[in-house]
Amino acid sequence: MLILGIETACDDTSAAIVEDGHHVRSNVIWTQRDVHERWGGVMPELAARRHVEVMQAVIEEALSTAGVAFSDITAVGVNHKHGLLRSIVVGVSAAKAISYALDIPLVGIHHIEGHIYSNLVAHPDIDFPHLCLTVSGGHNLLLHVLRHGEYDLIGRTLDDAAGEAYDKVAKMLGLGFPGGAIIDRLASEGDPTAYDFPRPMINRDDYDFSFSGLKTAVSVTLAKAAKMGASVNQADIAASFQAAVVDVLVAKTLRAARDTGVSTVTVAGGVAANSALRQRLAEAGEKHGFRVLWPTLPLCTDNGAMVATVAYYKYQAGITSPLNINAYSSAPIGSREIVYKPGKRKRTN
């Protein structure tokens, strides 16, 4: 069964063809880095316009790379919940048009479900329940994944997501946007103990996060150095900042893994690409006896393949969507509401 998955939550336009839920025949991702770089954050209106410009070409490339025609597709899956509203509307409109024109089922999914299932794409054998840490520029969540389609949101950020903090610190250092991968690389040349940055909420007896204070601590350190005319070692700042972020992410995940008693922890979202996070979680898993999984790099960031895999499971369970489904910027997952915030990056600096 071939499913077309469409994802336009933020600044990546993506379409994928996935066969039987797990065989990725194509996963085309058109990044908009060139559009947003100069603003140091995602500009929602520009993101939506670029989605409109490239959506059709991205879908056609997904089909041709997979070597299939529109008539071979069984269903079309689309993220219609969680992201920048105007961006999501573009993907939803394209999916509705394809569903209507081909007379095939439409399957609407929640963006966070997509990230959860990004690990199921390559690992169909993941056991339930398991724990998923999903971290990007727009969200920072810990989910207890009970069974297919059933999630308990047990932790979330109270302010910034870790990826957002990465992007803002990179901007302070003049390193470009998005900053996560740049800081990750630079950190490998620095001393993680050079600056003693705070580990917000690390000792709180819950699974929630907060990264706004850490970002401010970096800003204050840079401002003090500038005032005194002192030079800072950028690699040391990057390494010390990354050490603080990873300490918190690992500590909270470990606490949640212990309390829920899961034997598998998955990591998803753009920050799942982080080398230090991967290494520290793998070590924690080995020490505490749980398996740690993360997706391949193209499946970490927003992509159509994860959407197609969720749609596959929903379709198999008889769940499809009417053609009048709406687009939502924020929608609950499990029993708790989450808010998508990448559009705020520019204003809060």
Residues that bind ligand KG4 (CB under 6 A): 10, 136-138, 163, 166-167, 178-181, 184, 269-271, 273-274, 301-302, 342
Q: Which does 180 bind (CB under 5 to 8 A by kind): ligand KG4, Zn ion, none?
A: ligand KG4
Among residues 13, 136, 266, 329, which is the contact residue for Zn ion, using CB under 5 A? Answer: 136
Q: Which two tokens stand for residue 109?
A: 């999914």
The interaxial angle of helices 212-227 and 234-260, nearest 10 deg, is 160
Q: Evaluate whether 52 touches 91 at the Cβ level (below 8 Å).
A: no
Q: List, as own/partner pairs, every contact residues 250-255 make where C-beta atoms lie below 8 angstroms and the sequence separation is at least 24, other chains included.
A: 250/277, 250/280, 250/281, 250/284, 251/199, 251/202, 252/142, 252/155, 252/202, 252/207, 252/208, 252/209, 253/131, 253/133, 253/142, 253/281, 253/284, 254/284, 254/288, 255/207
Choice between 73 and 139, CB closer to ligand KG4: 139
In 3D space, the residue among 339, 314, 324, 305 whose CA is nearest the CA of residue 19 turns out to be 305
Choice between 178 and 190, CB closer to ligand KG4: 178
* Binding of residue 13 to Zn ion (CB under 5 A): no
What does residue 137 show for φ and ψ, rounded to 5 degrees?
Answer: -75, -25
* Binding of residue 26 to Zn ion (CB under 5 A): no
Q: Which does 285 bind (CB under 5 to 8 A by kind): ligand KG4, Zn ion, none?
A: none
Q: Which does 40 bind (CB under 5 to 8 A by kind): ligand KG4, Zn ion, none?
A: none
* Binding of residue 12 to Zn ion (CB under 5 A): no
Choice between 315 and 340, CB closer to ligand KG4: 340
Q: Which does 166 bind (CB under 5 to 8 A by kind): ligand KG4, Zn ion, none?
A: ligand KG4
Report the 10 Å Cβ neighbour count for 252. 22
Judged by CB under 5 A, the number of residues near Zn ion is: 2
Between CA 210 and CA 213 the distance in angstroms is: 7
Residues in contact with Zn ion, shown as a per-residue x/- string from 275 to 304 under the rule CB under 5 A: ---------------------------x--
Q: Which does 78 bind (CB under 5 to 8 A by kind): Zn ion, ligand KG4, none?
A: none
Choice between 136 and 253, CB closer to Zn ion: 136
Q: Which does 342 bind (CB under 5 to 8 A by kind): ligand KG4, Zn ion, none?
A: ligand KG4
Choice between 10 and 284, CB closer to ligand KG4: 10
Q: Which residues contact 302 (CB under 8 A, 6 or more apart)?
A: 7, 9, 10, 12, 14, 29, 111, 114, 136, 270
Residues that bind Zn ion in the complex, under the rule CB under 5 A:
136, 302
